[in-house]
Chain A
Amino acid sequence: MILTILRVMLIGLLRDRGALAMIFLLPPAIYLIFAAIFSGTGQGNPELRMGLHVARADAALEAAIEAMPLQTLRRYDDPALLRLDLTEGRLDAGLVLSGALDDVDAAPFLLLVDPGKPMVAALLDGRLRAHLGAGMPDAMARRQMNALSRRIGPLAPTGPPDPEAAAPAALTAVEVVGDPEATDPTVTYYAGAIAVMFLLFSATQTAAGLIDDRRSGLLDRFAATPAGIDVVVMGRFAFLVLQGFVQAGAVFAVAALVDGVPVAEHPLGWVVVTALVALAAAGMGMVAAVLCTTRAQAQTVATFVVLVSSALGGSMVPRFLMPDRLREIGSFSPNAWAIDAYQGLLVRGQPLAALAEPLLALGALGVLGIAGSVLISRRRMML
């Protein structure tokens, strides 16, 4: 008896492509994404975009920095330009070469860090130490010796240490570019990241109601009215946009009240960004609903697409921690566009014009989504 049930369930599973994909395809896919992200990070090789300004020329040091494993290293003659690119999200960090390596009175490097990526400072500091230690061992050893002498006195027995001497400087000084009083940027990051992920889940879930309408004959009924089915598709889309907007509002309201995410400082910008994120999510949800035949099918597709898009787009792990290849793939996800837009607005305080790229991408996804949904649903109704 038990074997019969086992057999029936096995046959049922083997004949359900959606369930097979969810059970056997999605977990390895998510594993591959996370393994790629964390293996890249764990091996100390984050593919960062760094800007370099040389305030004090040192050919050997510059050559060593240029050999560092980074995604991009861009040189800046003007440090103000470097700060601007960092502020506008085109760089993950900036490095100002400002002193000699063996000078322990001042940090030879000033690390400029995007406030939305605070862990970049620790990552780069570690990478810099390891890289210089391997590439310029003599210079690093000299610095260490100098620092040690400063702390315990000259290594040669010429006298006791000077108790008045200043403590040796660290290798890198860190400056977070932006408002030092600003809310923890990580909190703001995850407000956007979580909001967009759940907007996508809700939109695909609610849009699947269109499948019920089709199966119950509601669409057939509408097709015979002057309103036609376009009205149903567009009405559902409008509802999804509204639902998404309110849903994101709930997330950010909590984030603002509990963690001080500065939504109130950028009300118009927040409304525009959130409306476009909701538009994009609604567009994606509607396309899934018009392409799928059953609710179960839509649920499978939605879960698959939303989870992968969220993993690659930075809703689970920040994209700057990802290997270059994954980061590139992730840059095509609505999660990445939404997070970039929220980060630019709420963390870096950028004007909407400076966020045109992610905002246009979100808007285009929404518009293409609804246009495609209308055309596909018309085609499905008109045989």
Chain B
Amino acid sequence: MSIPVTGSHASSHATGTLAADAVGSLVQSVDWIAIAPAAIPAAVALVVLVADLFLPKEKKALLGWVTIAGLALAGLALGPLRAGHRKTFCLTTDPGECSYAADHFTVVIQLLVIGGALLTALLSMHDMEKYPAGEYWFLLLSSAAGAALLPASRDLATLVVALEVTTLPAFALVGIKRGDRLSSEAALKFFLSSVAATAVTLLGVSFVYAATGTLHLASIADGLGDVQPQLATLAKVGAVLTLVGFAFKLAAAPFHFWVPDTYVGAPLPIAAYLSVVGKAAGFSGLILITVIAFEPYADVWGPVVAVLAALTMTVGNVAALRQRAGFAHSAVRLLAWSSIGQAGYLLVPIAAAAYSDDPQHQIGTTVAYALMYAAVNLGAFAVAALVARTAPANRLTDYRGLYANRPLTALALAFFLLCLAGLPPGVIGLFAKVAVFSSIVGTGPAWLAVVMAVNVVIALVYYLRWTALLFAKPEAGPAAATGAADGTGTVSGAVAGAVAVAVPATRTPAPLTAAIALTAVAGIVLSGVPQLVLRYASGALL
């Protein structure tokens, strides 16, 4: 894959900073504090990769804790950036043109990405004996570094590089289950469709560069205003093609086909990671190029994004509705399709931005919704990971009667699902949806509001079915027949039943408990004080 860093006059990443004093005017200055949230995970990734060579096998768990500490440190590094006015990698010839901006938008998305990666790490801790530890943590950290870089990028080259840094390690992570046919197939599917999308994006970027002569987002917006008439079509085609790559990462229909198989084949924490951090990378990139770079073409991409949003949510929700509870991996498959549906909601405010006089305000709604979605979706995946310990097939029917065995876990999952559905007691889910609705009502296309209303109802069916299953009476499976009082994992079906009998009531691993508790507390606090995330919906972030 060609990475057009060197070809661009915009970027001079980290190279040559030592010589900064000597060369002076040619080399851009670097604000290390500003880039710390993206740089720390990258540095820790290298540390982990090297340390893996020297650590004896029984101490590999240490790598996981190093990863978690590194991500926590990266999270802390966001603290000094809260003011949101730092910029770096600016052109020496024009200090206003910067490739990296740590503004409010960047800081919020980086918080989401780093928090998501941290929770993914917590989810992975208990299962590490199955995977090569060093590679796993290295790949996870690298991908997180890319996803943290992405929202800060302010030129197309950096944006594409960040997108690839996010995605390339993810291919390997999806396929990391050695000897698992599903896993390799998932990785291949993910890889092929992703590469195709990236190629299309690069083509689009080259068109835009040809038409405007710049890669900086802000200058593109200026340049598009007065494109030479014969290049206008080229610029418009370029704009649409550039969107494709990001729509792919967000898993917007019709670029969503890779999602269900990839999520099912991937290790569960990686599926969670893709559903939250992968999407964050997709929509933050989409926001940057639509609202900043292609702002003059709002009349072109506005309807396109609106149609994408309607299509995505409908496809995702209808497919999720059709999942059969008894099939293998139906829980993860359902979460996969529902994440596509949720991606549709995320797109709605972006579409609304095209119709609004104040686009910055609208995209804040996407950010607020994404924060809510990240917390509760990771929570749902955490519970799925817990259930997968006793029922590896992870069918929806395996959740039957979860309340009888693990009341708190079941209540937490019910809360997460109702947040995703947007019904009380999931108050934050409800108000996040209200915010999305209010971004289109009045200014945006009314039909999109109606489509979304219908989708909210469709989505309720499958979320509610799952919720009801948690509280249903446990089926009298083979395990219950033996009179076991605890009845952990009384699952239907002979195979899973046999597994459930073989696995005694295991203790929940501490990192997994921590992940569920963290997300549940986040959801509950946000339900009491929705302002904490919804404030992003009312202020300009960029």
Q: Do A and B come from one complex?
A: no
Q: Please report B residues at the A interface, Cβ cutoff 8 Å.
A: none
Q: Show the binding face of A for B, using Cβ within 8 Å.
A: none
